Chains A and B, each alone.
Chain A
Amino acid sequence: MSSVIDIEGLVKSFGRVRALDGLDLTVRAGDVHGFLGPNGAGKTTTIRILLGLLRADGGRVRLLGGDPWSDAVALHRRLAYVPGDVTLWPNLTGGEAIDLLARLRGGLDQRRRAELIERFDLDPSKKGRTYSKGNRQKVALVAALSSNVELLLLDEPTAGLDPLMEVVFQDCIAEAKASGVTVLLSSHILAQVEKLCDRVSIVRRGRVVQTGTLAELRHLTRTTVEADTVRPVTGLAELPGVHDLTVTGQRVRFAVDAEHLDAAIKALGAFGISSLVCQPPTLEEIMLHHYGDELNHQHVGATR
């Protein structure tokens, strides 16, 4: 079996709001798959449909080879879920909540539980009402990561965690991946996605607009080039795919579309390169590339 999650043309409406509008998503076994998009794009709705908490209005969804609505219980034994905003029971301690969630899923690894509590620096004896947001996330993370599952569904799992804990989280996901667990990671923390994810899907208004490996996505946007040359550069602006060119003396700086990178560097070589820095687009730039027109669109919508 190659794909753990297989979604085609998924549609879900809440009243008149169309939250998902023909979303396609494929997550391959063993991958850590990044799920990116702004607030309200439909990431959480997709995950809740995968969990059988919401019912799809249209489209085809397969999860671990089953139907997420009718096979919910059987599938849930094989996966663990961390919501972005964990609410705990005010009168249950964190330790009790961990055991509750993990046991209802089908049991947990006690050694792993103890180790994770240690690594996440969590006090499991405090009552749910006294935890801060970050500590509530830790409770759900420990419960999910100490279960023996094939798939982790993580919906902005580190919201509220401090940077040290973010590192612990990234280590844990890397370990999970090494042991063969598939991960769907919805996140706003682009550095986390760049570091952890094999493949990325970008959602916008209920549809996936871009999906692929990070290298593939980078291919679709511009690389920034900075160089010092022996002779001052001329004529570069006329080349196809070159943008934002600035030449100051012997220093040149421009952005170039991925398919024209080769031609631009060859042209640059004619002026004698003494130093060269090429920066691939950051994930942030890729995101902005896909949402730039949305910002414009919103602006138009607002003035209309």
Chain B
Amino acid sequence: MTAVTIDAPATMTSGGAFAGTGTLVRFNLRRERIALPAWVLGIAAFMVSGPHVYADLYPTAADRANQAAVVAGNPAMKAMTGPGFGVEDYTYGAMLANEYLGFVLILVGLMATFTVVRHTRVEEETGRFELVRASAVGRYAHLAAALLTAALASLVLGLVVAVGLGTSGVESIDWPGSLLFGATFTVTGLVFAGVAAVTAQVSAFGRAAAGPAGAVIGIAFTVRALGDVADNGLSWLSPFGWMQQTRVYVDDRWWPLLLGVAAAAALVAIAFMLVDRRDVGAGLKAPRVGAEAGSARLGTAGGFAWRLHRASVFWWSVAILLLGASYGSVTDVIESYADNESLRQMMASIGGATFVDSFLSFICAIIALGATIFSIAAVRRARTEETGGRAEPVLATALSRTRWLASHVTVALAGGLLLLAVGGLGLGLASAATTGESRWIADLLAAQLAYAPALWATTAVAVAAFGLWPRATWLAWAVLGWSLLAMYLGALLQLPQWLLNLTAYQHIPRMPVADFTVLPLVLLTLIGAGLVAAGITGFRRRNLDLA
């Protein structure tokens, strides 16, 4: 007989729940070697270019004072940017903090969210997690490594931004302020990494984990915007509000960052607590059993596509309704801005529209961009069906490629239209309720629906890419991102008109402010139809991408 002695492996003594975290962090960084540097450099380059852009645009103190009047007095600007600290003496630093920070921090939140979800829930869903956990890797290691990866990215981003701004040499962009500015980026990254860590534990699937985390970013932005417009302290409930309360380059207050650090620590603690309470591969929400047979509708192309998208249509409708209603609920506050005689004169001098009209037309554009996110994601769903292998058995049935793709595209375009209607109704009903003027319902519904052709044309870019150049369905996100930037910065940075004209949304009549014009809507719809036709034709001719 052979005697076998089993030595305790070294890792059993040095292990514990965090065993393997360091290896996983290095592994994560290796996997993220393209994506994270792209996020960090992209955000930092955009941010660091800010002071130079301002120095060119507003060379004199008088120019800046003019801009201060526009920003401080206009509720739409407050919703878009922030509370407007330092408008009395609107230095380049104050401009940067007021007009850039609130917007750019959204990108930081997205970076942290995607990073954490990709290295926790998505890993678990694909089964790779199981393989790794079966080696000498502790229970907390994946979450700890994902958080450390996101934290590292946030830290590097903060440093790059601080150094980039500190060395800009633009007047009033000093080192103390620049360090604080960078620190807001790092802390924001930490907060949303914490949010994503919690949602990743609660929901059973990766997409379902990114959704709630993304919703938290949206809510944080909306709460901040509403709080700043109504000036009622609500902004203190939002991480974005905390960052703006640092009054960077104006008063340089560091203490609001403590709120962010505390929130991040609490969220991380909760996430680790939740890890102990659930099994690998399962969320805290247990999956349910369902129907044993498919309904008759499911057996049709349209019914099948609707089934795949209906939950997302529902939740998006709820979100857009709330978004519209929450902005509509401050319409009466906006009206009170008009009591200020000097502001009213200023508004009259720059276009003649009322505050309320310009605020609401801006909100309509925001809602339209939000609804487009749904539509592009719905088209991209067709791509994940294809690459995930689920399209293969379906297209091996008597369902033609044209009908398969057309049914997804129909849900995307009709769903987008539905969201516009829901958003317009939410905005209109809430505005009518707070101001007592029922005309808002029809006016805002019309204003919102006018964006449909822009939504369709932008979504159609995704369809065309899917058929003709399937690896580039991100192109549609790029177009949407540019549309958002153009809307924000077009006004602030006075970009050349031809650049703005590249986005569909610029051609939509700003309805409460401007009059309805039919021609751009018809042209955009035709462009969209052409792109969809090109996408479907391309899809009929190409190979499927199969694993």
Which A residues form the contact surface with B (CB < 8 A)?
48, 51, 53-55, 72-74, 76-77, 79, 81-83, 85-93, 95-106, 124-127, 129-130, 140, 143, 153
Contact = CB atoms under 8 A, between A and B. Distances in A.
A53 B546 contact: yes
Given A81-B393, A83-B392, A73 B398 contact: yes
A101 B399 CA distance: 10
Contact of A92 (B300, B307, B547): B307
B205 A90 contact: yes
B59 interface: no
B544 A54 contact: yes
Interface string B355-394: 0000000000000000000000000000000001110111
A129 to B, nearest CB: 6
A99 B299 contact: yes
Contact of A125 (B292, B301, B544, B546): B292
B345 interface: no
B496 interface: no
Contact of B298 (A77, A79, A99): A99
B158 to A, nearest CB: 37
Contacts of B288: 127
B207 to A, nearest CB: 9
A86 B308 CA distance: 18
B2 interface: no
A126 B395 CA distance: 24
Contact of A106 (B304, B398, B544): B398
Given A51-B395, A54-B544, A105-B397, 6 more contacts: A54-B546, A73-B400, A76-B398, A91-B308, A99-B293, A125-B289
A95 B294 contact: yes
A55 B401 CA distance: 14
Contacts of B394: 100-101, 104
A87 B293 contact: no
A100 B304 contact: yes
Contacts of A82: 393
A103 B298 contact: yes
Interface of B: 204-205, 287-295, 298-301, 304, 307-308, 311, 388-390, 392-401, 541-544, 546-547
B543 A53 contact: yes
A86 B293 CA distance: 19
A127 B298 contact: no
Nearest to A77: B398
B374 to A, nearest CB: 17
A106 B393 CA distance: 14
B398 A129 contact: no
B291 A125 contact: yes
B396 A99 contact: no
Nearest to B311: A91
A96 B389 contact: no
B287 A130 contact: yes
Nearest to A91: B311
Interface residue SS majority, chain A: mixed
Contacts of B541: 55
A54 B543 contact: yes
Contact of A104 (B205, B304, B543, B546): B304
19 contacts: A51-B396, A54-B544, A72-B400, A73-B399, A76-B397, A77-B398, A85-B547, A93-B292, A95-B294, A96-B295, A99-B294, A99-B299, A100-B304, A101-B397, A104-B300, A104-B304, A105-B398, A143-B393, A153-B396
A95 B293 contact: yes
Main DSSP-derived SS at the B contact region:
loop
A85 B389 contact: yes
Contacts of B299: 99-100, 102-104
A124 B543 contact: no
Contact of B546 (A48, A77, A124): A48
Contact of B293 (A53, A74, A124): A124
Contacts of A55: 541-543
Contact of B398 (A48, A85, A104, A124): A104
Contacts of B547: 85
A80 B289 CA distance: 27
A53 to B, nearest CB: 5
User: Which one of B390, B541, B542 has the greatest number of beta carbons of chain A within 10 Å?
Assistant: B390
Nearest to B389: A87
B392 A96 contact: no
Contacts of B294: 92, 95-100, 103
Given A96-B298, A99-B298, A99-B299, A53 B392 contact: yes
Nearest to A140: B393
Contacts of B204: 129
A78 to B, nearest CB: 9
A152 to B, nearest CB: 11
Nearest to B307: A92
B390 A87 contact: yes
A95 B291 CA distance: 7
A129 B126 CA distance: 11
A271 to B, nearest CB: 46
A127 B307 CA distance: 14
Contacts of B295: 96
B389 A83 contact: yes
Nearest to A75: B398
The 10 closest A-B pairs by CB, nearest first: A103-B299, A99-B294, A104-B397, A96-B294, A81-B396, A87-B389, A105-B397, A93-B290, A95-B292, A77-B398
Contacts of A91: 308, 311
B396 A76 contact: yes
B49 to A, nearest CB: 39
B282 to A, nearest CB: 10
B407 to A, nearest CB: 11
Q: Which of A77, A85, A89, A140 has the most CB of B within 10 A?
A: A89
A130 to B, nearest CB: 6
Contact of A127 (B287, B300, B389, B401): B287
B298 A129 contact: no
Contacts of B300: 103-104
A104 B293 CA distance: 14
Contacts of A103: 294, 298-300
B301 A127 contact: no
B388 A129 contact: no
Given A83-B392, A105-B397, A100 B292 contact: no
A289 to B, nearest CB: 32
B125 to A, nearest CB: 8
A93 B298 CA distance: 12
Contacts of A124: 292-293
A48 B392 CA distance: 9
Contacts of B304: 100, 104
Contacts of B307: 92
B308 A89 contact: yes
Contacts of B311: 91
A72 B393 CA distance: 13
A143 B300 CA distance: 16
A125 B308 CA distance: 17
Contacts of A87: 388-390
B499 to A, nearest CB: 37
Contacts of A153: 396
